[in-house]
Amino acid sequence: MDELDLRTPVIVGVGQASERIADDDYRARGAADLAADAVRAALSDTGAPAEAVASAIDTIAAMRAFDDSSPYSLAVLGAADNVPRAVAARIGADPARAILDVTGGQSPQHSVTELCAAIASGASEVAVSFGAEVISTVRHLAATDSPPDFTEHVGGTLDDRGFGIRGLTSAQAALHDLVSPPTQYSILENARRARLGVTRAEYLAMLGRLFAPFTALAAANPHAAAATERSADELVTVTDRNRRITDAYPRYLIARDQVNQAAAVVIMSLGRARDLGVPDDRLVFLHGHADLTEHELGIRPDLGSSPAAVAAVREALSMAGVDLDQLSAMDLYSCFGVPVFNLCDGLGLATDDPRGLTVTGGLPFFGGPGNNYSMHAIVEIARRARADRGSFGMVAANGGILSKHSVGIYSTGPAPWRPSTSPSLQADLDRTPTVPFAYHADGPATIESYSVTFDRTGSRSAVVIGRLDDGRRFVATPVGDDEALLDLLTGDAEPIGQRVHARAVDAGNRVAIDRSSMDRLLPVVAPVFRDRYDGLRLTRHDHVLEVTIDRPTAGNAVDAATARDLDEVIGAFCTDDDLRVAIVTGAGTEYFGVGIDLDGVGSSMQVARPINGFAGLSGRRHLSKPVIAAINGRAEGAAIDMVLSCHLAIADESATFALPETGFGLTPGLETLGRLPDVIGRALAHDMILTGRRLDATEAVAAGLVSRVVAAGTVLDVAREMAATIASRSPIAARAALSYMASDDTNPSPVDDELMVHADTLEGLRAHREGRGAHFRNR
């Protein structure tokens, strides 16, 4: 090893800690305490004085715990505000740098690779990567009368990488309840099963045969959460204990998250290891590595596979200079069956390979300690490498929905550090053609994949991935109580490839077994005016509709009910032949409107966007009749969407305009983001969006946001005069002009075609020649 650069990174210590509630020595350790136990074990494993190694640590990295893995996670019993430094303090370390890594099962291997690269570059000399989960303990103690508080205020610097979950899920997935891992992975399993052309029973048997050997290894692992060996039949036979979770998985086949497990790895430069007295028989080298990302689920060419995962393994093996047959041990991430199958399919690896596909027992049996599972796999691979010197072992980690892949090849054989070659390979993967996606799905379609979830009573809910006839993919849920569709998804016949019918609504896409079922369960109802609205006042006279948002105590903010009512009212206006112009205003003199009622919406407000836009004035609805915004006070937030969507906007001289959303952690509406820069100019739009700058009426008219500013208290009177003028002119011509301006068509034919078939055109010309007022009949 003398010829190696002294900055060559080496793994010198590995350790694990765990406890079960039923164990005699159960101590109800918090996450930081259990993590510190694992780090101490790793420090001891180096063979050097543990205190000396601890004091030499300059970088400590923590894997993100499940209770801090998304904006919606919650640490029920509290947690440290700086997890890596909380653990560092427990082991007597004071590192210069503390890292909290991103969400995802790829994180442990990615962290080890990153820390090795930092050591090779000279940016670090001694680093520790660790993770811990105490989900089982938290659930157990939270139900007691006096649960502990694991909150710690540690302080100190922290390189918090954030959740890093962009691309792991999507707003469309959340909107359609495609968020739980079993539901997501069932989509992938069913797509793969259909590609193989096997029945559900045959595929389930394949899952049982895949995982039975995993249980045997878990049964012998002292850190395993489910140390019970089970047969293939036992794994897939539905019982009270092994109930159906989804159509693809009974409980035994799903990653076990109720664990108390921690693992840690100590990494040093070769020179520092020698200085600290680490014996050579402790050294394990990272010979090859790769980190690649798959396309987001909605646009992947094949829902049942991940080419990026296969490419990551091949790249890591190539870097190490070995092939698959030369591996003595491997651990393929096994939260569910399809990640293992995917690598076996792509690499030509037998699912019953005598070397085994796990070194821990796998996530359903050893346990799935949140994002940290593969740290345990690295620990076991390192130990096997030491026991069989010169052999090679592989860890293939997976995050998201077969989304992020990190692979490491380990051996005690000396190897220089090799920098990453993943970026160029990632660029090639990114250029792979993807599937076009439909956010709003309407019409005949074909089932591409699906997932059915069962609750404890056996009730069913489903998610369908489909293709419209134009090839676009969409996500949908069954409409209403379409038992026929649910029966298809759970029956003997193959659902994939079957024809269905899709329809888009504000709450998302819905799918039914056929068009007649869709029309029966989710009929398209023509919007009509009702006698009363809770948050609106309507008046109509002389072909003009006045709509007043009547919620002055809430700043005329629009809650969910009022938004639906506005959409209905605008829809009814569009189809009422007697109405030619609409005026939209706010009650009182202080507010035109302050947009969405933030007190009345949940965390999904940025997900469920109305298909006809805010207040029914944009989105997929084409406003072919003139609408006037009479702005009588403050117009803020989504109310700016309304201003931009209306054809004319006039403002009281006291009116103001502002976009406060970014101050609430939100973005303005899509109409605002899409059109405001074109209307008022890029610089001013950015100023309003990013700083919340408020424009007065004079600035608004100068910028082109409104067409007129009128004296205080007269805006509605002026709007009525404008509406009367518009209503006296040809509604046919107005509609044709607005339709053409709203389209991307540069051919004049549509306008001419519209005008030549209506009597209004001839009447207008005759009236002009005869010197009289025209009598337009709107036909």
- As a whole number, mean pLDDT of residues 698-711 equals 96
User: What are the tens digits of pLDDT across the range 686-703?
Assistant: 999 999 999 999 999 999
- The pLDDT tens digits for 418-451 are 999 999 999 999 999 999 999 999 999 999 999 9
Q: Is the pTM of this model over 0.85?
A: yes
Helices 422-430 and 307-320: crossing angle, nearest 10°?
160
Residues 374 and 501 in one domain: no
- What is the number of structural domains in the chain? 4
Q: Give buried/exposed letters for 199-212 (b at 16+ CB in 10 A, else e).
A: ebeebbbbbbbbbb
Dig out the tokens for 241 from the structure: 């204990």
**CATH value at residue 516:** 2.40.50.840
Residues 517, 492 share a domain? yes
Tell which of 384, 401, 430 closes a domain.
Answer: 430
Task: Tell me the pLDDT tens digit for each residue of 486-496.
Answer: 999 999 999 99
3-state class (DSSP) for residue 321: coil
436 in a structural domain: no
SS3 290: strand
**493 shares a domain with 403:** no
**Alpha carbon of 131 to those of 46, 87, 418, 504, 755: distances in Å?**
18, 10, 26, 43, 71
Domain stops at, among 404, 430, 456: 430
Distance CA 134, CA 91 (A): 19
Q: How many CB atoms lie within 10 A of CB 193?
A: 24
First to last CA, the chain: 92
Q: What is the pLDDT of residue 597?
A: 75
Contact partners, residue 522, CB within 8 Å, separation at least 6: 479, 480, 503, 505, 510, 512
- Regarding whether 718 and 744 lie in a shared domain, the answer is no
Residue 123 located in a structural domain = yes
Distance (Å, rounded) from C-alpha 157 to C-alpha 206? 49
> Above 60 in pLDDT, residue 182?
yes
Looking at every residue in the chain, the average pLDDT score rounds to 92
Question: Mean of the pLDDT values across residues 530-537?
Answer: 93
Residue 617, in any domain of the structure: yes
Q: Flag whether 190 is in a domain.
A: no
Residue range 374-383, pLDDT digits in tens: 999 999 999 9
For residue 483, which amino acid is it? Answer: E
SS (H, E, C) 341-389: HHHHHHHCCCCCCCCCCCCCCCCCCCCCCHHHHHHHHHHHHHHHHHHCC
What residue ranges in 37-189 does DSSP mark as E strands? 59-62, 97-100, 126-134, 159-160
pLDDT of residue 338 exceeding 80: yes
567 in any annotated domain? yes
Q: How far is CA 285 from CA 126, 294, 408, in A?
A: 15, 27, 10
Among candidate residues 506, 505, 507, 487, the one with its CA nearest the CA of residue 495: 487
Same domain (yes/no): 424, 447: no
Q: What is the pLDDT of residues 128-181, one digit of tens each?
A: 999 999 999 999 999 999 999 999 999 999 999 998 887 677 888 888 999 999
Q: Count of CB atoms within 10 A of residue 713's CB?
A: 12
Average pLDDT over residues 35-61: 98
User: 258-267 as b/e, with b when 16 or more CB fall inside 10 Å?
Assistant: bbbbbbbbbb
- Looking at the fold, whether 22 and 150 belong to one and the same domain comes out as yes
Which pLDDT tens digit goes with each residue over 229-256? 999 999 999 999 999 999 999 999 999 9
Q: What is the pLDDT of residue 744?
A: 64
Q: Look-up: residue for tokens 């919620």?
A: 551
- What is the tens place of the pLDDT at every residue in 83-103? 999 999 999 999 999 999 999
pLDDT at 605: 40
In a domain, 734, yes or no: no
Last residue of a domain, one of 469, 492, 521: 521
Q: In this model, does residue 295 exceed pLDDT 80?
A: yes
2 within a domain of the structure (yes/no):
no
Instruction: Answer with the residue of higher pLDDT: 752 or 15.
Output: 15
Domain CATH number, residue 157: 3.40.47.10
**Do residue 273 and residue 338 come from a single domain?**
yes
For the beta sheet containing 159-160, the strands, ordered from the edge strand earlier in sequence to the opposite edge, are: 9-18, 260-269, 126-134, 59-62, 97-100, 159-160
Helix 107-121 / helix 373-387 crossing angle, nearest 10 deg = 60
Stretch among 84-93, 465-474, 661-670, 765-774 having the lowest mean pLDDT? 765-774
Examine the domain organization and report whether 259 and 283 are in the same domain: yes
Query: Would the CA dihedral through 429, 430, 431, 437 be positive or negative?
Result: positive
What CATH number does the domain containing 656 carry?
A: 3.90.226.10
Please state, as a whole number, how many other Cβ atoms lie within 10 Å of the Cβ of residue 737: 17
- Looking at residue 113, its pLDDT comes to 98
User: 603 falls in which pLDDT band (50, 70, 90)?
Assistant: very low
CA angle 153, 156, 162 (to 5 degrees): 85
| Percentage of the chain exceeding pLDDT 90 | 80
Contact partners, residue 20, CB within 8 Å, separation at least 6? 26, 136, 225, 260
pLDDT, average across residues 544-563: 91
Q: Are residues 677 and 711 in the same domain?
A: yes
Residue 190 near residue 449, CB atoms below 8 Å: yes
Q: Are residues 58 and 150 in the same domain?
A: yes
B/e letters for 381-409, b = 16+ CB within 10 Å, e = fewer, are bbbbbbeeeebbbbbbbbbbbbbbbbbbb
Tokens linked to 92: 């007597």
Is 361 inside a domain boundary?
A: yes
The per-residue pLDDT for 166 is: 76
Do residues 608 and 746 share a domain? no
Nearest-Å Rg of the Cα atoms of the chain is 32
| pLDDT confidence of residue 175 | 86
Structure tokens at 189: 């399993």
Residue type, 772: R
**Could you tell me if 616 and 756 lie in one domain?**
no
Residue numbers of the domain that contains 490? 443-521
- From the list 399, 401, 255, the residue with the least C-alpha distance to 336 is 255
pLDDT for the residue numbered 755? 56
d(CA 79, CA 77): 7
φ, ψ of residue 150 in degrees (nearest 5): -90, 10
Can you tell me the distance from the alpha carbon of 388 to that of 412, in angstroms, rounded to the nearest whole number?
Answer: 9
pLDDT of residue 607: 47
- pLDDT value of residue 35: 98
